[in-house]
Structure 1
Amino acid sequence: MAFHREKEVVRTAVLVGIRAQESLNRYNAVTCEETFSRFGTTNYSHRISQDVFNFYPMYDWLFEDIWRANAKFELDYNHLYDLYYQAGVPYKSMRVANPFHQCGVHSLKLYQALEPATWGKLVGRVNGANFAALYGGTAAMGYRGAVLPKGHTWKSYVEFLLKTSPEETRKVYLKKFKSSMDYWMKTGGALPENVIDELEELGSDFERLGPPTNKRKYKQRYEVIRFKDYPDDVPIKNFRLVPSYKRMCITILKNDTSCQYMGFGQTKDELQKKQEAMEKWETFL
């Protein structure tokens, strides 16, 4: 965006290389005909703003393909990956990203071994960095299964976690949680029929409202259901698809204020705050 405005050009194309091997959602995003606004009829494109487009011409390379290209053509790359390899990190876990992101915090401990100088700065400036490094990949922060304390239901545990959260954070969670409860207990949500069958076997109390009426194209049979009571726990294979107080607990433990674990996307307010922050820091460049 900044480059586009600085050069005062008519259109800007941003070439992006992603590996669809990492995620089926990525593959769908660049190949599906009805995914998002694009440049003309080019599937592997995405409009960022009025005259700025992302293009994803390279999305089907495997992990091995990338490193063959690096070796054969002597391409430049982030040599942190060399340190990852020397430290014995599996290639699926070799990520260079924000260490405090909900999906990256479990690898925070690697900074101690790979970048000790950076680690020293993190500990000095970020409250809880050392705790996250010690427990980021454990149940203490919602990984490897959350453990229910004695004497609690998942609902009462949610209430406890909210009471011990900062006021602003608590308000964010309460708003998202209320939205989830209204959606699943008033409107109803679509789930795959095999998941609904599992719920019936568990004796979950819900109404079947028939097939979805939206225009989305589903790859398997879905049906809309509406819960009579918000479930405390749903011990099924596709746990994350179904609402429950346990899912709320894991969301809080992950410090996931955007509630992506529960299937939420970013709201207009969150996107606006992000845009304002980008514009603010752009002036410092």
Structure 2
Amino acid sequence: MGQPCITQNVYEAANERLEVVFSEFDNIIVSFSGGKDSGVMLHLVLDFMKKRHIQKKVSVYHLDYEGQYTATTDYVSKIFQENIDLIEPYWCCLPVAAQSAVSMYEDHWVPWETEKKELWVREMPDFDFIINEKNAPFDFDFHGIWDYEFNRRFLRWHHRQKQASKTILLIGIREQESLNRYAAIHKKESMYENYRFTTKIFPDIYHGYPIHDWLVEDVWTANAKFSWPYNEIYDLYHLAGVPLRNMRVASPFNDSATESLKLYRVIEPAMWSKLVGRVNGANFTSIYGGTSAMAWKDIKLPKNHTWKSYLEFLLTTLPAETRNRYLKKFKTSIHYWTDRGGALKVSTVEELKRLHLDIEFLGKPKSKRNYTNEMEVVRFADYPDDLTIKDFASVPTYKRMCITILKNDYACKYMGFGQTKLELEKRKRALAKYNDIL
């Protein structure tokens, strides 16, 4: 079979998608975090509007997590102020729950709580378009709800406010970033008119991913080629030796940001001193994240323990709610690997065969899932305590469970659970609660 003929580059493909967006949707919202991907996406939209002399404004939505770099705030401020003739800004500084992966006792924190104003990491921005508790125009209660749920409710509220026929929220995520993002983009149960860069969220409301196929090198090439302003925190990341793939702007306490939490101490020490007092566990994670204390390196089994017994000990040290959350996931894993069986790379399966364990090898997966590697399904007679395998994180062991706890990995991503920001059961309960209200 010959190689596919590529007739356009990713920049041209993104603009072709924007042609669809602006011709098909009467209500367009751009999600703008202040990071590199959402920044490039917003610049693409603004340039598209300027070249075609589009007068109708697009909405730009920024959820401010309080604990962000000054460079991020400066960048968002610059983009909003310089493009106010093209955009309708929604800069939200609201007390919505955000994930905290730095403490075993708290799975979330709440930015911009009025009663904790003395602990705020920074002053609230002072622009006419800032949305806070005092002036929030929403017809729903946002206090304490999870950020992902607020995003959904904001989207539906905006659709109603604009009396829109069709709404699309453009999100700057790229499938190169993670398998979870790849799955989200390519989950095609429902699209708009078979456009594969769209996903239906609610009736007449869609998500769009104009730059889903861009590589990180494409992002920086575009910034250089078109002289687009970008968040200067990335320059400091570069000077600090952070690889391109690890440069991210996010809420500092979520599970994708804990590795870079220590950078706050170097890049912005004044803010760091406030972050330490803001969320329980921030200082410990910044010091020990990436070390054996947080299970990022080889951990040693305590004397007179198996990994299973060590796991049982670790579970006793956790608060009841946290312990029960882990137990539910661990039981699911045990059932999956010893009853149904799971798919592993063929190379990993060959390693397992050489270990002469009580394992059934069940052949190729029968599911319709598209795998990037050749896979084989295996079923364990007993859940292993530990295995000497090159791709250790892919195989089920009690040691892997111990590492998951030591990493404060609430969502159990290390064990292969396909979740995004929050634990699956909380998400299901929240969605069930609010879907009937809206």
Same fold (TM over 0.5): yes
* Root-mean-square deviation (Å): 2.7
Equivalent residue runs for 1:1-285 within 5 Å = 1=155, 2-23=157-178, 26=181, 30=185, 35-266=188-419, 269-273=425-429, 275=431
8 Å contact from structure 2 (residues 170, 209) kept in 1: yes
- Alpha-carbon distance between aligned partners in 2 of 1:72 and 1:40, rounded to the nearest angstrom: 33
- Alpha-carbon distance between aligned partners in 1 of 2:301 and 2:161, rounded to the nearest angstrom: 54
AA partner of residue 351 (structure 2): E
- Alpha-carbon distance between aligned partners in 1 of 2:263 and 2:269, rounded to the nearest angstrom: 9
Instruction: For residue 130 of structure 1, report the CA deviation from its aligned partner.
Output: 1.1
Instruction: For residue 220 of structure 1, report the CA deviation from its aligned partner.
Output: 4.6
Instruction: Go from structure 1 to structure 2 and tell me whether the alpha carbon gap of 1:3 and 1:195 turns closer, same or farther (over 3 Å shift).
Output: same
Structure 1 gap segments, 5+ residues each = 280-285
Instruction: Go from structure 1 to structure 2 and tell me whether the alpha carbon gap of 1:62 and 1:228 turns closer, same or farther (over 3 Å shift).
Output: closer
Instruction: For residue 105 of structure 1, report the CA deviation from its aligned partner.
Output: 0.9
Where is the helix percentage greater, Structure 1 or Structure 2? 1
Instruction: For residue 23 of structure 1, report the CA deviation from its aligned partner.
Output: 4.3
AA partner of residue 80 (structure 1): I
Instruction: For residue 276 of structure 1, report the CA deviation from its aligned partner.
Output: 8.6
| Superposition TM-score, scaled by structure 2 size | 0.57
Name the structure, 1 or 2, with higher relative contact order (CA <8 Å, separation 6+). Answer: 2
Q: Deviations over 1:69-108 (max 9, x none)?
A: 3344342332222332343433232211122223321211
Structure 2 gap segments, 5+ residues each = 1-154
Q: Deviations over 1:7-52 (max 9, x none)?
A: 231221222333444446655764x5x6543222212222222322
Q: Deviations over 1:169-204 (max 9, x none)?
A: 111111111111111112222233332221111122
Q: Deviations over 1:216-238 (max 9, x none)?
A: 34455433322111001122122
8 Å contact from structure 1 (residues 142, 254) kept in 2: yes
Instruction: Go from structure 1 to structure 2 and tell me whether the alpha carbon gap of 1:193 and 1:62 turns closer, same or farther (over 3 Å shift).
Output: closer
Instruction: Go from structure 1 to structure 2 and tell me whether the alpha carbon gap of 1:130 and 1:276 turns closer, same or farther (over 3 Å shift).
Output: farther
- Alpha-carbon distance between aligned partners in 1 of 2:209 and 2:190, rounded to the nearest angstrom: 14
- Alpha-carbon distance between aligned partners in 1 of 2:374 and 2:172, rounded to the nearest angstrom: 33
| Superposition TM-score, scaled by structure 1 size | 0.85
8 Å contact from structure 2 (residues 258, 285) kept in 1: yes
- Alpha-carbon distance between aligned partners in 2 of 1:158 and 1:108, rounded to the nearest angstrom: 27
| 3-state DSSP of counterpart to 1:38 | coil
8 Å contact from structure 1 (residues 105, 137) kept in 2: no
| 3-state DSSP of counterpart to 1:198 | helix
8 Å contact from structure 1 (residues 212, 223) kept in 2: yes
- Alpha-carbon distance between aligned partners in 1 of 2:294 and 2:398, rounded to the nearest angstrom: 16
- Alpha-carbon distance between aligned partners in 2 of 1:264 and 1:25, rounded to the nearest angstrom: 10
Instruction: For residue 275 of structure 1, report the CA deviation from its aligned partner.
Output: 4.8
- Alpha-carbon distance between aligned partners in 2 of 1:247 and 1:47, rounded to the nearest angstrom: 36
Instruction: Go from structure 1 to structure 2 and tell me whether the alpha carbon gap of 1:48 and 1:85 turns closer, same or farther (over 3 Å shift).
Output: same
8 Å contact from structure 1 (residues 102, 254) kept in 2: no
Q: Deviations over 1:119-160 (max 9, x none)?
A: 122111212211111101111112123332233221121111
Structure number with larger C-alpha Rg = 2
Percent identity between matched residues is 54
Instruction: Go from structure 1 to structure 2 and tell me whether the alpha carbon gap of 1:28 and 1:275 turns closer, same or farther (over 3 Å shift).
Output: closer
The answer to which of 209-218 and 146-155 deviates more is 209-218
| 3-state DSSP of counterpart to 1:58 | coil
The answer for the alignment partner of 2:112 in structure 1 is none
| 3-state DSSP of counterpart to 1:17 | coil
AA partner of residue 119 (structure 1): W
